[in-house]
Amino acid sequence: MARLQLKSLVKSYGLYEAVRGIDLDIEDNEFVVFVGPSGCGKSTTLRMIAGLEHITDGEIRIADQVVNRLGPGKRDIAMVFQNYALYPHMSVRENISFCLEQQKLAKPEIASRIELAAETLHITDLLDRRPGQLSGGQRQRVAMGRAIVRNPKVFLFDEPLSNLDAKLRVQMRTEIKRLHQLLPTTTVYVTHDQIEAMTMADRVVVMNGGLIEQAGPPQELYYNPASQFVAGFIGSPSMNFVDAVLVERGEGLVVKLVDGTELAVPTDRVATFAPHVGKPVVFGIRPESISTRQLRPGFVDFNVGVDLVEPLGAATMIYFNIGSTVLCATVDPETGPRAGSAAALSFNMNRMHLFDKTSGRSLAVP
């Protein structure tokens, strides 16, 4: 168990910088998830931590020790891969014990560690089978067992659930979170799935173009995104975005959308946005912050034509246009309108976001 520190970390492939000088401190026992689109640098960062990629510049510290020049086997880390990486000719027991035998541990110690890991992961009855006789979820548990028995300072997970079906992914992410509660160890987990990130992490690190866009607790990123990129990446369905301009109306402000619709800014946020009056901005609002008409403070009512309806059981998603932009709202299925009908909706302006049109940075974040 150890603190993990990344300082000015850079990875270049010729003239291309995959990771562009990131700084991050991960506390002892913290579960941190790197998330972002393909090519953002998250897996490259993980591989540098593991020692599988050489560092172009910067520094990695594990438990206050600089590990830049240490090989993977000397960093006291354990890694779980997307493809399981099990030896097909070995039994589950042999797969799990292999690294311990390489360390020349005593046989009673090896047996004890295997038994504890197997009980923790509920694979005791699988120990004498071979990987080819296991399901995808069982193989991933074995891969995790092989990591657990090493008692490492840091666990690294590289998109471990990508090969599983949707139902099994939900089950396995719960298992991994439960495992971290039972065996608290500094953990870095890489995924492209923002739902995995939100449900599992103590802290989410959103990467984009080799840089960290924002790092923080899941709820902070959801409710206070630092940029339009983070706002669009975190949350499902994604946040709605509409080009707009801020306009003064008496002592207040309104967001004037591209079709001329004006939405009043709540009075407690006028001072924050006042410096941006007259500038082009991007208005953002999440689908769940648009509802059927609400006569409450901070809600702005308007009428739309519904183009498409998607029933989801517990909620219904409806799609409509503002100018040429398609927006999505998540509404109560009992009150949701039908496709082709008119709908009276409300924007919860207490949950609105404004982003700089050029930089994409949130106007509410200093």
Structure confidence at residue 77 (pLDDT): 94
Structure confidence at residue 1 (pLDDT): 60
Domain boundary among 200, 225, 250: 225
Burial bucket for residue 303 (CB in 10 Å: 0-12, 13-18, 19+): exposed
Contact (Cβ atoms closer than 8 angstroms) between residue 261 and residue 346: no
Band (pLDDT 50/70/90 cuts) for residue 76 is very high
Both 9 and 137 in one domain: the answer is yes
Band (pLDDT 50/70/90 cuts) for residue 248 is very high
Both 51 and 168 in one domain: the answer is yes
Query: β-pairing, 211-216 with 203-208?
Result: antiparallel
Both 127 and 186 in one domain: the answer is yes
- Both structure tokens of 162: 């990508």
Band (pLDDT 50/70/90 cuts) for residue 269 is very high
Domain boundary among 225, 253, 285: 225
Structure confidence at residue 163 (pLDDT): 81
Q: What is the mean pLDDT of residues 192-197?
A: 92
22: closest CA among 31, 36, 235?
36
Tens-digit pLDDT profile for residues 21-72? 999 999 999 999 999 999 999 999 999 999 999 999 999 999 999 999 999 9
Q: What is the mean pLDDT of residues 262-276?
A: 92
Contact (Cβ atoms closer than 8 angstroms) between residue 26 and residue 186: yes
Contact (Cβ atoms closer than 8 angstroms) between residue 23 and residue 8: yes
The CATH number that applies at residue 260 is: 2.40.50.140
The CATH number that applies at residue 106 is: 3.40.50.300
Structure confidence at residue 83 (pLDDT): 82
Structure confidence at residue 365 (pLDDT): 78
**Rounded CA Rg of the chain:** 25
Range of the domain at 22: 4-225
Both 255 and 351 in one domain: the answer is yes
Band (pLDDT 50/70/90 cuts) for residue 164 is confident
pTM of the model: 0.90
User: Do you know the residue count of the chain?
Assistant: 366
Structure confidence at residue 103 (pLDDT): 85
Tens-digit pLDDT profile for residues 195-232? 999 999 999 999 999 999 999 999 999 999 999 999 99
Structure confidence at residue 315 (pLDDT): 87
Lowest mean pLDDT among 56-60, 90-94, 172-176, 274-278: 172-176
Angle of CA points 285, 286, 292, to nearest 5°: 95
Residue 85 maps to a domain = yes
Residues facing 5 on adjacent strands: 25, 61
Both 216 and 292 in one domain: the answer is no
In sequence order, the 6+-apart residues with CB closer than 8 A to the CB of 125 are none
Q: Report residue 3 CA to chain centroid gap.
A: 21
Both 196 and 345 in one domain: the answer is no
Tens-digit pLDDT profile for residues 287-343? 999 987 766 777 888 888 999 999 988 889 999 999 889 999 998 888 778 888 888
Both 173 and 259 in one domain: the answer is no
Contact (Cβ atoms closer than 8 angstroms) between residue 347 and residue 263: yes
- For the range 64-73, what are the long-range contacts, defined as Cβ-Cβ under 8 Å and sequence gap of 24 or more? 64/2, 64/3
Find the Cα–Cα–Cα–Cα dihedral 130, 136, 137, 138, rounded to 10°: 0
Q: What is the SS3 assignment for the chain?
A: CCCEEEEEEEEEECCEEEEEEEEEEECCCCEEEEECCCCCCHHHHHHHHHCCCCCCEEEEEECCEECCCCCHHHCCEEEECCCCCCCCCCCHHHHHHHHHHHCCCCHHHHHHHHHHHHHHHCCHHHCCCCHHHCCHHHHHHHHHHHHHCCCCCEEEEECCCCCCCHHHHHHHHHHHHHHHHHCCCEEEEEECCHHHHHHHCCEEEEEECCEEEEEECHHHHHHCCCEHHHHHHCCCCCCEEEEEEEEEECCEEEEEECCCCEEECCHHHHHHHHHHCCCEEEEEECHHHEEECCCCCCEEEEEEEEEEEEECCCCEEEEEEECCEEEEEEECCCCCCCCCCEEEEEEEHHHCEEEECCCCEECCCC
Number of domains in the chain: 2
Both 13 and 162 in one domain: the answer is yes
